[in-house]
Amino acid sequence: MSATQAASDEALIARIAQGDRLAMQVLYGRHHVKVFRFGLRLVRNEQIAEDLISEVFLDVWRQAGKFEGRSAVSTWLLAIMRFKALSALRRRKDAELDDETANEIEDQSDDPEVTVQKKDTGNALRKCLMQLSAEHREIVDLVYYHEKSVEEVAEIVGIPENTVKTRLFYARKKLAGLLQEAGIERGWP
């Protein structure tokens, strides 16, 4: 995200705090897909993730005036989603988790040809990611899929930065081994 967009997000939050519905629509349009996907990866149920995304943006509408700008707006949104997703999982421990739901969501910025090219490697990577512990999967998701810094991940997850670094190190090491076993030589940066 560019500095201009980050500043623009903060301006949108300020306008939302004043009751500007158009600003809310713009913020939602800009961030709902990434926040939804993050929530879906956590709860693994499309309906629950849809409910949670509504709750996240309802909270933003209600709490915009309390946003202090200590983190990026996108970090704040992901932290809200994480809290809500973990709460939902605690409430629904017996819920059936569906791995296939996440596989069905396509990145709308990719054309069909790019989607087909990514499919085989993407499927292998997803299978390998699912073999990581939940803690490692969450860190990898935030760093690589949501492009969050170690500092931002620490804030979202509520753990020290050094713990994030350690988890990321071990997650990458484990993932590299799993990818090699799957026949993907160098599929991870």
70 shares a domain with 129: no
Looking at residue 188, what is its pLDDT?
45
Q: Which residues contact 142 (CB under 8 A, 6 or more apart)?
A: 38, 78, 148, 152, 153, 156, 157
Range of the domain at 113: 107-189
Q: pLDDT, tens digit, for every residue of 98-134?
A: 444 555 555 555 555 555 555 667 777 778 888 888 8
The domain boundary residue, chosen from 76, 105, 134: 105
Indicate the DSSP class of residue 19: T
The DSSP result for 95-125, as a single string, is PPP-HHHHHTPPPTTS-HHHHHHHHHHHHHH
Q: pLDDT, tens digit, for every residue of 57-99?
A: 999 999 999 998 888 999 999 999 999 998 888 877 644 444 4
Is residue 152 within 8 Å of 184, Cβ to Cβ? no
* 148 alpha-carbon distance from chain centroid: 9
CATH number at residue 175: 1.10.10.10
